[in-house]
Amino acid sequence: MKKGSFILIVLLLLLLSFHQAGMQDAVKTVRELSDREHPKVAITFDDGPHPVYTEMLLDGLKKRGVHAAFFLIGKNIEGNEEIVKRMQEEGHLIGNHTYHHVNLKELSQKEAEKEIQMTWKKIYESTGMGTSFVRPPFGEWRKNLDFDITMIPVSWNIDSLDWTTENTEKIIKRVVKDVGEDDIILMHDVYETSVEAALEIIDILRERGYEFVTVDQLLLE
């Protein structure tokens, strides 16, 4: 091969390499822009499982391909173990909401730890997995509780106040007018109107370009 031809081939290979690198950067930029165009939000449900309304909610979430977080009361798991198992099998995040829905700060340390541990055990017995996520009732978390695993308290910044009204439209408006990127929405899956409102909220926000994720994706990424 002549020297001039060899140099030409090298130059062409270099140009091709630069072109491919440029294309990769362009693809990366498009993906980043796409991520920014789809703000993330998490929807969470407290106080379940309910034998009727939680199942109704799970059906609606499955139909929409949306995952949520469920913070369960231990005593409500009894008799509803199959619902809890379904949550886990369908990809939802399961969290701890104490056994009796009590204010942990009003209990002794030993009593507070028991509330969390009893619910953790119920979740494990239902799913074969424990959980590190806890939502303390009333948002009142006690620090320095002694557990074998690290517990991650999960709060919220959009409160639907769905427990105060049976007006579905009022619940929907309260959430959609205030929600923003990376927000955590608090709802309850123990009222029919809350379930109806939640599914409509999901539809509205998805139309606005929001992507629904579980809270661990917001907190840990």
Q: What is the pLDDT of residues 78-129, one digit of tens each?
A: 999 999 999 999 999 999 999 999 999 999 999 999 999 999 999 999 999 9
Grade residue 23 by pLDDT with cuts at 50, 70 and 90: very low
Higher pLDDT, 143 or 155: 155
Cβ–Cβ contacts within 10 Å for residue 170, how many?
A: 15
Q: Let me know whether 145 and 45 are in one domain.
A: yes
Q: Let me know whether 115 and 145 are in one domain.
A: yes
Grade residue 165 by pLDDT with cuts at 50, 70 and 90: very high
What is the percentage of the chain residues whose pLDDT exceeds 70? 83
Q: Let me know whether 4 and 70 are in one domain.
A: no
Say what the pLDDT of residue 139 is.
Answer: 93
Grade residue 147 by pLDDT with cuts at 50, 70 and 90: confident
Q: Cβ neighbours of residue 28 under 8 Å, at least 6 residues apart?
A: none
Grade residue 33 by pLDDT with cuts at 50, 70 and 90: very low
CB 151 within 8 A of CB 116: yes
Q: How far is CA 35 from CA 67, 125, 219, in A?
A: 18, 38, 17
Lowest mean pLDDT among 42-51, 148-157, 164-173, 207-216: 148-157
Q: Let me know whether 101 and 209 are in one domain.
A: yes
- Annotated active-site residue 188? The verdict is yes
Say what the pLDDT of residue 162 is.
Answer: 97
Grade residue 10 by pLDDT with cuts at 50, 70 and 90: very low
Say what the pLDDT of residue 150 is.
Answer: 81
Q: Let me know whether 45 and 83 are in one domain.
A: yes
Considering the entire predicted model, what is its pTM? 0.82
What does residue 56 show for φ and ψ, rounded to 5 degrees? -60, -45
Candidate list 67, 92, 97, 188, residue with the active-site label: 188
Give tens-digit pLDDT for 108-117: 999 999 999 9
Q: Let me know whether 118 and 21 are in one domain.
A: no
Angle between helix 81-89 and 109-127 (nearest 10): 70
Q: Let me know whether 54 and 104 are in one domain.
A: yes
**Secondary structure of residue 93 in the 3-state scheme:** strand
Grade residue 27 by pLDDT with cuts at 50, 70 and 90: very low
Q: Let me know whether 22 and 49 are in one domain.
A: no
**Secondary structure of residue 211 in the 3-state scheme:** strand
- Annotated active-site residue 100? The verdict is no
Distance CA 195, CA 102 (A): 24
Q: Let me know whether 110 and 174 are in one domain.
A: yes
Grade residue 1 by pLDDT with cuts at 50, 70 and 90: low
CB 163 within 8 A of CB 21: no
Candidate list 35, 46, 47, 162, residue with the active-site label: 46
Q: Let me know whether 160 and 81 are in one domain.
A: yes
Instruction: Count CA atoms closer than 13 A to 189's CA, side-chain side.
Output: 31
pLDDT at 142 over 70: yes
Total domain count, the chain: 2
Q: Let me know whether 77 and 31 are in one domain.
A: no
Q: Which string of DSSP letters, residue by residue, matches 109-147? A: HHHHHHHHHHHHHHHHHHHS---SEE--GGG-PPTT---
Q: Let me know whether 149 and 121 are in one domain.
A: yes
Alpha-carbon radius of gyration of the chain: 24
Residues spanned by the domain of 18:
1-37
Say what the pLDDT of residue 120 is.
Answer: 97
Domain at 154, CATH number: 3.20.20.370
Distance CA 18, CA 21 (A): 5
